[in-house]
Amino acid sequence: MTRQGPNPSAWTPEVRDAIERWKPVSTLKNRMAARTVAGASRVLMQWLNTLTMENYSAFSAARKQDTGLLTFSNHVSLFDDPLLTSCMSRTEWPRIRWIAADALNFFGTPLLAAVFNAGKCVPIVRGAGVDQPGMHFLAERLQHGEWVHIFPEGGRTRDVDGRIQTPLKTGMAELVRASKPVVLPFHHHGMREVLPIGGRFPRFGKTVTVRFGEALDSRGDVAERSIAEITEWATHQLLALQARSP
């Protein structure tokens, strides 16, 4: 399954082992685990904390289309996903998003791989470029009309105010060009209070706001732009949403 990208040094033996542990299959065990985690995420965010979603209709309408949906957002907390994304759709396996995840951090051991296979995580090898199994898989999922989420910052921001890290990584733009999905940005505020950096357990009684932008069918224009132009467009979308946060 492994394939060398533009930087062969990225494919260490540990990375290769991590990729081999990736099994994106809809087993009964995986479906039950995914629904359990999604359900627990909803309890935490909607019952034990306060979650508000602005312009949710943009997401709902996009999910009803036959075209794949690529959402992208800022990233401030270890559990932005699945806590937030679980509250956006039903908890059946076909409705849950696929998400790009660091190969070593999420598939570095058999136990981690079992957990994150069930969570529909897709391992991405940092520095390996677009020509790698995870990126091809995500593009295929989008081409088949499924939902994929990506954090284009490439990791959690360490800024004390949670400001978006720029420049964004180009992986999101690569997926847009490869699969021409509907693209939808959203920005969230308050997750750092639910799970601060270094914290191990979520907190209760906090307020989180998710602001969706407008869904755009990339086939109309965006997918035909260069990687740099798509990345610049995505940056503008997230920064504009961030400007509306408290």
CATH number of the structural domain 9-242: 3.40.1130.10
Phi–psi pair at 5, nearest 5 degrees:
-90, -160
Task: Give per-residue pLDDT as tens, 10-65.
Answer: 899 999 999 999 999 999 999 999 999 999 999 999 999 999 999 999 999 999 98
Task: Give per-residue pLDDT as tens, 54-102.
Answer: 999 999 999 998 899 999 999 999 899 999 999 999 999 999 999 999 9
CA atoms within 13 A on the CB side of 14: 11
Where exactly are the structural domains of the chain?
A: 9-242
Determine the pLDDT at residue 6: 60
Global pTM value: 0.95
Q: Please enumerate in sequence order all residues whose Cβ is within 8 A of that of 116, keeping only pairs 6 or more positions apart, or say none.
A: 101, 106, 107
12/32 Cα distance (integer angstroms)? 33
The vertex-82 CA angle with 153 and 3, nearest 5°, equals 60
